[in-house]
Structures are given as structure tokens and as C-alpha cells.
Amino acid sequence: MKKVFIAFRNVSFRYGEEYPWALKNISFEIFSDEWIAIIGHNGSGKSTIAKLINGLLLPQEGEIIVDGMPVNEETIWDIRKSVGMVFQNPDNQFVGTTVRDDVAFGLENRGIAREEMIQRINDSLDAVGMTDYILHEPHRLSGGQKQRVAIASILAISPEVIILDEATAMLDPKGRHEIMNTVNEVKNKHHLALVAITHDLNEITQADRVIVMSEGEVWLESNPRDVFSRKEELQQIGLDIPFIAKLADDLSSIGVPIKNQPLNHEELLIELWKYHSKM
Amino acid sequence: MEISFKNVDYTYQPNTPFEHKAIRNLSFKVASGTFVAIVGHTGSGKSTVIQHLNGLLTPTYGEVSIGDYKLTPEKKIKNIKDLRKRVGVVFQYPEHQLFEETIEKDIAFGPKNFGANEEAIKERIIEVMQSVNLPEQLLTRSPFDLSGGQMRRAAIAGVLAVDPEVLVLDEPTAGLDPRGQRDMMEMFYRLHHSKKLTTFLVTHSMEDALEYADHVIVLDKGTKFMEGKPSEVFLRQKELNEVQLDIPEVIKILFKVKEKLGISLSYKGQSTYDLACELKAALGGGSTNE
């Protein structure tokens, strides 16, 4: 059953009275089980949204509902049980001296019994493929491994949504790929919602829906295919489309029919093949 | 400045249980005025290499030459301050190093340290603000009032203010939005040419290495895996995949077009639009041969 898990209703936020509005009257819904990508130029309000979802910030105007509860000072502790966040810099989120201790931290805070704690640590490390590193020091791992441990720590508290706030930005291409694969597997297995805030254009192609932010407002809500068919508009607001979409765009501008906006190499090749076989 | 590495090793914490050889037997030579990209996955030794360029590290074995300066394990370099004036390093997330009350003071910090006089510093500040495309009005503002992209530009202005001959860039576009990334790279490319710099770019973006560099050095496990012109190096997909690197999208699609459609096009730095035209012509012409 598709249900609304996060709802923003006419939300406005600013960091102080003398500051401009970082978010201006924004409304949107995110369903449980959905993969949402949030993109936008630097300063468009993306990260502010993430911090509002789990009550790290509270809005001056409007209402945010998470898991049926309005986000406010009374509910944030309950809400944080169902919202897990992974931030950009993996080094800033470790507290334990071993991978195991680090994953245990969130569980200890919640007073989980030892037996169950051990089970959850093992399960969550297994889910991200880090079981072999259980006694390693977190800060000696590679960037991709660190982010996987950060995800395991979050999985252990069994959230209903995971928010990735530019969680792959500091990783190399292989690390990015690993994390997105891990996240995808975890999402499908545990039926989580995923909110990925990102600048990585190729990461967006995997999302069910994209929310495009500009100047603190929701500029567009659509699927990746539709988003990438709007090259000029996106470029005007400081964004861009992936190389494949650009090539498809240029091909179509010189009369090669591209019917379905391709999201990857395979889809573009199919379009090229169709054109080729008709000639 | 001409820069060369001759059989360089660098070992962290030698003779301890934590001993780690980050670079081994690394040799390369780069002519003055070259735009060099250094690529390699995490832990391949990229950061260790660039820390030799301004003498933050000296080799455990071998010799590093930066113009007339020689870094060897035997002796301490005497005029290290002069070397650091001539080699400007923009570290990752340079905006984290801003610390002064105003942008003006922050930019002035470097040249002041290197003994420039007030007049000269004033002139430099105006010039570098233009170089990084920041409006002069921002000079009296606190660096912490700026947006992320502007903060980074202000930090880079501080490096440029010292008027280096070699510019070392460690992942300079990380965390910026797509337009910010493009603007930043265009800025470095422009500076490289107008100031006749020798530029080292450490990057995870094979696209940027292909687009901006004259020469690419691929590192793996602390040693040189290959080097050459980007348009030639990036054709070696199999080998690059072995060291966990990918090739630029444009070359990848050309390979796939060849494999699936039997059409052979080569990459010569053409724009996406020109590539689209070549593809169209090749695909359209295909029917007559079949």
C-alpha cells in the first residue's frame, strides 16, 4: 500500500530574522517505499529540507508530517527512530573505536537488549557487506567503506526512511557506485523510502521521482526522464543533464528521432539502432 | 616550472608497526606550462604526490625537482618558503581554511606572510578578486557570509594572491553544483593559460581530465600505472577498469556504438553536437553498405 510518509505543507524556513528565506512556502509528499532524488544549485534549500525532516531544524511557517506525526519538539525523538540520515563527510559521524561499537551506539541509546543488539549489528553489517570489518577501526576504512558503516548504523535502528545528504560527494567513482548499489539493495529488502540529496547527475537516473529545488522553492517534481528532457531550463537554474541526455538532445535537434528520452547508454543505443535500421 | 620525480618512494611512519609505503618508485617529468591531471582511486597515492610539490613532504628515497629546487631524503631544503611562494596548493574544501574577519584580510594573509608591501597587496587583491569572478564589494564582508561556491572562490583567491607559478588543485569542484563545477574548471583553465602556470589537477572526474589536461598520470597502489595524452590514455578501458577507474562517458559511448552498431568513430575532442552530426552521418550511411 502506498502511503504518504513525509509531507511538507506550506513550509517556510530561514536561519535567522535577518537572513533571507531558505525555503519559501514549499509543499510536497514522499511515499513510503519511494526513491526520491532532491537536486538543486548550491544554496537552493536541499540540505535544509533534510534537516527539517528529522527536526534538526524547525520551520517558522507551515507544517511537516513524518510517519503521521507533526514534527515538533515533543515528537522529534520518535521521529528520529524512523528517519536515518547519512551526511556528506564520513569522518564526522563516527563515535566508536571499532565498526561494531559504532553500529552499537545508536542501539545502546535506545536501550535495546544485548541479545537483540548483537543480532541487529550482524544483520546490518551483513546488509552492507561489511561483516569482515566488524573489529576494524572506522577511521582507517576507505571513504566508501565508511559510508557503508554509516548506513549499517542507521539500518540497525530499523528506520523507515533513509536520507542521504550528498553522502557520495566525497567518494571516488567506485565508492559512489558501491554505496548506491548497497542502498538500492537495502531499500528493496527492507521496503524503505529513500531521499537522496545529490549533485551527481547519474545518481538521479535511478530515482522514482525527482524534486528540483531552485531559490528555496520547488521548481519541478517529476520523473527523471521528464527532468532530463528540460536541458535549457535546468541549465538556467545552475543544473545540467547527464552526457547521454545531452547527446540525445543534440541528435534530436539535427533530425535523428529520439522518442524516449534515454537515461543510460543502453537506451540511447536502442534509439540509435532503430534509426539505423530504418535508413 | 619543470617538475620531475625520479624513482621516488614515500613511506609514512617508517620503522614502526604502522609503516606504510604510499608511493613507490615513481618517476615522471612534466614540462613547464603543462596542465597535468592525476587520477587514481582512493589510496592510490595522489595526495602524497601533490604534498611533495611544495615540500610538505620530502621523499624517503629518490629525488623530486621543482624548477631549481631539489627535494631529497638527505638534506633539508633551505629556502622552503620561497618554494611555497612559487607553488600554490588549493586543498580539498579550501573554504574550511578561511579564518579572517573579512575577505580582504583573508586574501592578504598569504602575500603579507611572504613579505609583500601594503601597496602591492592592495593591487593583488583587486586582481585576484577579478580572476575568481568575485565582486569587489564583497571584500569587506566576512567570508562566512558567503555561499559555498563564493567561499571557495575567496579561498582560491588567497592562494592566487601569492602569484604562484605552479598551481596544485586537489578535487577543486567537490560539492559544487553542476554549473559551479563547470565555472570553476573554466576559471582554472583560463588562469592556467593567462598566467602561463604549470597546473596539477587531482580529480575523480575523467571527464575533466579529458577536457582540460594536456597530460594524465594514472596512479595505482602508489606507483605509475600509465601516463600520456588523455585522448590516448582513456582509450585503454580494460586496463583502467583493472585499477578501478572508468573512462569518460563520451569515449564509452563511442566504444559501445562500435560494438553494437559496427560504426567506428574516434574521439578528437569534438563537442557533443559535432559528435551527434558524425553519428547521424555514419548511421545514415550505414544502410547503403548492408
Count how many residues are written for chain A.
Answer: 279
pLDDT, tens digit, 9 for 90 and up, residues B44-54: 899 899 999 99
pLDDT score, position A185:
84
Taking the C-alpha atoms of residue A103 and residue A154, their distance in angstroms, rounded to an integer, is 8
* Chain A residue numbers touching B284 (CB-CB < 8 A): 279
State residue A75's pLDDT score. Answer: 94
pLDDT band at A275 (very low <50, low <70, confident <90, very high): confident
Name the average pLDDT for chain B.
Answer: 91
| pLDDT band at B285; cut points 50, 70, 90 | low
> Which B positions 85-144 lie with beta carbon below 8 A of chain A?
none
Interchain CB contact of B273 with A (< 8 Å): yes
- Domain residues of chain A, as ranges? 4-241, 242-279
Cβ–Cβ gap B42/A272 under 8 Å: no
Using DSSP bridges, classify how beta strands A209-214 and A217-222 pair: parallel, antiparallel or unpaired: antiparallel
Contact A88 B175 (CB under 8 A): yes
Cell of B100: 579572517
Q: How confident is the model at residue B288 (pLDDT cuts 50, 70, 90)?
A: very low
**Inter-chain CB proximity A276 and B182 less than 8 Å:** no
Q: In chain A, which residues have their Cβ closer than 8 Å to the Cβ of B43?
A: 142
Residue B57 CA neighbour count, 13 Å, CB half: 20
Closest partner residue to A172 among B41, B276, B283, by Cβ? B41
Sign for the CA dihedral angle at B144, B145, B148, B154 comes to negative
Residues in chain A closer than 8 A to B273 (CB atoms): 250, 253-254
Asked whether the predicted pLDDT for residue B3 surpasses 90, the reply is: yes
B-chain residues near A244 (CB < 8 A): 249, 253
Strand partners, B201: B37, B169
Closest partner CB to B147 (pick from A42, A173, A246):
A42
List the beta bridge partners of residue A40.
A213
Q: Which long-range contacts (CB under 8 A, 24 or more apart) does B258-265 make?
A: B260/A269, B260/A273, B261/A269, B261/A272, B261/A273, B261/A276, B261/B286, B262/B286
What interface predicted TM-score (ipTM) does this complex get? 0.81
Residues of A with CB under 8 A from a CB of B: 40-44, 88, 142-144, 166, 169-175, 199, 201, 235, 238-240, 242-244, 246-247, 250-251, 253-256, 265, 268-269, 272-273, 275-276, 279
- Long-range CB contacts (< 8 A, 24+ apart) of A227-231? A228/A261, A228/A263, A229/A261
Q: Do B180 and A43 touch (CB under 8 A)?
A: no
Q: What pLDDT sits at residue B287?
A: 41
Cα gap A221→A242, rounded to integer Å: 18
Does residue A273 have a pLDDT over 80? yes
Indicate whether B149 pLDDT > 50. yes
SS3 B72: coil
Nearest to A277 by CA among B290, B254, B63, B225: B290
Mean pLDDT, rounded, for B168-178: 89
Which pLDDT does position B239 carry in this prediction? 95
For residue B276, list chain A residues with Cβ-Cβ distance below 8 A: 247, 250-251, 253-254, 256
B280 and A CB contact within 8 Å = yes
pLDDT at A18: 86
Q: Can you give the pLDDT at residue A117?
A: 92
Residue B290 confidence (pLDDT) above 60: no
Residues of chain B with CATH 3.40.50.300: 3-241
Contacts A279 to B, Cβ<8 Å:
283-284, 286-287
**Higher-pLDDT residue of A179, A232:** A232
pLDDT at residue number B180: 86
A201-233 pLDDT, tens digit each: 888 988 999 999 999 999 999 999 999 999 899
Instruction: Give the pLDDT score at A171.
Output: 77
Q: Which listed CATH number (3.40.50.300, 3.30.460.80, 1.10.3450.40, 3.30.1540.10) goes with B3-241?
A: 3.40.50.300
Evaluate whether B245 touches B218 at the Cβ level (below 8 Å): yes
Q: Does B287 touch chain A (CB under 8 A)?
A: yes
**pLDDT, position B78:** 78
Summarize the confidence of residues B220-244 as an average pLDDT.
94
Answer whether B228 touches A (CB < 8 Å): no
When pLDDT is averaged across residues A112-126 and rounded to a whole number, the result is 91
- CA B248 to chain centroid, in Å, comes to 17
What is the pLDDT confidence band of residue A1, given thresholds at 50, 70 and 90? Answer: low
pLDDT of residue A259: 85
The shortest CB-CB distance from B261 to any of A175, A199, A276 is to A276
For residue B266, give the nearest of B280, B281, B250 by alpha carbon. B250
Q: Do B287 and A199 touch (CB under 8 A)?
A: no
Q: Inspect the interface and report whether the beta carbons of B275 and A247 lie closer than 8 Å.
A: yes
- Is any Cβ of chain A less than 8 angstroms from the Cβ of B243? no
- Lowest-pLDDT range of A258-272, B20-34, B210-224: A258-272
The mean pLDDT of chain A is 89
| Chain B nearest C-alpha distance from A270 (Å) | 10
Helix/strand/coil (H/E/C) assignment for every residue in B238-279: HHHHHCCCCCCHHHHHHHHHHHHHCCCCCCCCCCHHHHHHHH
How far apart (Å, rounded) are the C-alpha atoms in residues A271 and B202? Answer: 36
Nearest to B177 among A42, A170, A255 (CB): A42
Other Cβ atoms less than 10 A from the Cβ of B61: the count is 16
**Residues of chain A above pLDDT 70, percent:** 100
B249 with A169: Cβ contact below 8 A = no
Residue A84 pairs in a beta bridge with A162
List pLDDT tens digits, range A15-64: 888 888 999 999 999 999 899 999 998 888 888 999 999 899 999 999 99
Q: Is A60 in a helix, a strand, or coil?
A: coil
For A3-12, the pLDDT digits (tens) are 899 999 999 9
Check CB contact of B275 with chain A, cutoff 8 Å: yes
Of A277, A106, A81, the residue nearest B284 (C-alpha): A277
Taking only the tens place, the pLDDT of each residue in B83-93 is 999 999 998 88
Indicate whether A271 pLDDT > 50.
yes
CA distance A251 to chain B (A): 5
Distance CA B153, CA B94 (A): 9
CB contact (8 A) between residue B287 and residue A276: yes
- Give the pLDDT confidence score for residue B289 in this predicted structure: 40
| Closest residue in chain B to residue A264, using alpha carbons only | B253
Q: What local confidence, expressed as pLDDT, does residue A138 receive?
A: 87
Percent of chain A topping pLDDT 90: 48
Across the interface, which of B148, B204, B253 has its CB nearest the CB of A247? Answer: B253
Residue B286 has pLDDT above 70, yes or no: no
Order of all β-strands in the sheet with B61-66: B20-30, B3-12, B61-66, B69-71
Q: What is the reported pLDDT for B148?
A: 77
Give B32 to chain A, closest Cα distance, Å.
29
Half-sphere exposure of B27 (CA within 13 A, CB side): 4
- Cβ of A172 within 8 Å of Cβ of B177? The answer is no
CATH of A4-241, one of 1.20.1090.10, 3.40.50.300, 3.90.550.10, 3.40.50.720: 3.40.50.300
Q: Give B94-148 pLDDT, tens digit per residue.
A: 888 888 999 999 999 999 988 889 999 999 999 999 988 899 999 999 988 887 7
